[in-house]
A and B are shown apart, each in its own frame.
Chain A
Amino acid sequence: MKQPPYFLHSFPPKGRSPLLGLPGWRSDMEWASWSDFWNMGGYGLYVWGSYGVTAVCILIEVMFLKRSAGDTRRRLKRMQQWEEQ
């Protein structure tokens, strides 16, 4: 018989993530501590280097977009007032 995917073996999950206190399917192989988590099995630099720069890219895009949305409206408004005079 075909095994169900392992994360469905017990549903809802019985374990709890020791780090987050949230339901976790893999409490047995969960990170032992936060330093363990940040260390990423020795690949911390690469994993966080990837995720960090991605987060920065998204934040920069959202920031610029917010600012330029306001700028565009104010600039058009100024042009409009100028044209009316």
Chain B
Amino acid sequence: MNLYTFASPVNFYHLSGKLIPWFTWSAVLLTVAGLYISFFVAPTDFQQSEAYRIIFIHVPAAWMSMFIYMVMAFWGAIGLAFNTRLSFMMARALAPTGAIFTFIALWTGAWWGKPMWGAWWVWDARLTSELILLFLYVGIIALWSAIDDVKRGDRAGALLTLIGAINVPIIYFSVKWWNTLHQGASINLMKAPSMAKIMLIGMLVMAIAAWLYTIAVALVRVRGIILERERQSEWVKAILEREA
């Protein structure tokens, strides 16, 4: 038995079934811990007062929106290069969650921008490139659902994902390359180093929770996709006998 064993859908189906509860419950625990830090441990910001507490979801959501896209691009590239079935399924399973985190990043950004900048939205490089990321997610999902042939759909989606991947470094470096209203790396936001630390810890806990959540929901989704695609096989018939 080696790592490649789990590249086969049947083994992966069973392995992921065992892993999902672990990811789910650790995500729940870390979310509770993260929210506790966000509201009851982290002190008031000296400049932004309590409004800054949006950071504990805004920054992890923005990180996730970019990470998930890169992971999708990775699976797409693997799928295109080695024609592995499971990698395309993983890419499809991740996209909706990536789109949701992108929306959350934009939404919380708007609700932070309004009190701090006086505007819900500005066409600045960071915000615009993040909006393009949302359109990429939506476009990739739409492309998949528009192509009935699963294999062609997989390849077209992976190709679009890879082309769009150029946008991720643009989002990341936009605050450096252009003069944006959006502030630079979030750690510079805080002046007192002691404050920075607990805020950073809060952000990291929420980010890890977001990761675990993403893995849990992506695994649930990929299991559905596996069943759908392998429905002719005997093992799926046996599972349906039990689970449906």
Residues of chain B within 8 A (CB-CB) of A3 are 194
A32 at the interface (CB under 8 A from B): no
Q: Is A49's beta carbon under 8 Å from chain B?
A: yes
> Interface residue count for B (Cβ, 8 Å)?
44
Interface of A is mostly: helix
A1 within 8 A of B: no
Q: Which of A15-70 contact B (CB under 8 A)?
A: 17, 19-20, 22, 24-26, 29-30, 37, 40-43, 46-47, 49-51, 53-54, 57-58, 61-62, 65, 68-69
Residue of B nearest to A9 (CB): B194
A9 CA to B152 CA in the complex, in Å?
59
Contacts A7-B41, A42-B49 known; A76 to B104 CB distance under 8 Å?
no
B51 touches A77 (CB 8 A): no
**Contact A77/B50 with A61-B96, A68-B224 known, Cβ cut-off 8 Å:** no
How would you classify the secondary structure of chain B's contact residues: helix, strand, loop or mixed?
helix
**0/1 interface trace, chain B 98-116, chain A, CB 8 Å (1 if under):** 0010011001100110110
- Would you call A5 an interface residue if the criterion is a C-beta within 8 Å of the partner chain's C-beta atoms? yes
Contact check, B213 vs A58: say whether CB atoms are below 8 A apart: yes
A54 touches B108 (CB 8 A): yes
- Interface membership of A11, Cβ < 8 A: no
Q: Does B149 contact A (CB under 8 A)?
A: no
Q: How far is the CA of A46 from the CA of B53 in the complex (A)?
A: 10
B194 touches A50 (CB 8 A): no
CB distance from B240 to the nearest CB of A (A): 5
Chain A residues closer than 8 Å to B114, beta-carbon distance: 46
Q: Is the Cβ of B227 less than 8 Å from the Cβ of A53?
A: no
- Is A69's CB under 8 angstroms from B223's CB? yes
Instruction: Tell me which residues across on chain A come within 8 A of B58, comparing CB atoms.
Output: 50
Is B191 interfacial (CB 8 A cutoff)?
no
Closest residue of chain B to A36 (Cβ to Cβ) is B50
Bound CA span A26–B141, Å:
46
Contact A73 B240 (CB under 8 A): yes
On whether A80 and B57 interact (CB within 8 A), knowing A47-B50, A50-B107, A50-B111, the answer reads no
Q: A6 — which chain B residues lie within 8 A by C-beta?
A: 194-195, 198
Q: How many residues of A are in contact with the other chain, CB < 8 A?
A: 39
- Please name the residue on chain B nearest to A24 by beta carbon: B40
Q: Is B243 an interface residue (CB 8 A)?
A: yes
Other than the given A6-B198, A49-B111, 20 more pairs (CB < 8 A) read: A5-B193, A6-B194, A7-B198, A22-B40, A25-B41, A29-B44, A30-B40, A41-B44, A42-B50, A46-B51, A46-B115, A47-B50, A50-B107, A53-B111, A57-B103, A62-B217, A65-B221, A68-B224, A76-B227, A76-B231
Q: What residues make up the interface of A, taking CB atoms closer than 8 Å to B?
A: 3, 5-7, 17, 19-20, 22, 24-26, 29-30, 37, 40-43, 46-47, 49-51, 53-54, 57-58, 61-62, 65, 68-69, 72-74, 76-77, 79-80
Could you pull out 21 A-B pairs where Cβ atoms are within 8 angstroms? A3-B194, A5-B193, A5-B198, A20-B40, A22-B36, A41-B51, A43-B51, A46-B54, A47-B53, A47-B54, A51-B54, A53-B111, A54-B107, A61-B97, A61-B100, A65-B217, A65-B220, A65-B221, A69-B220, A76-B240, A80-B240
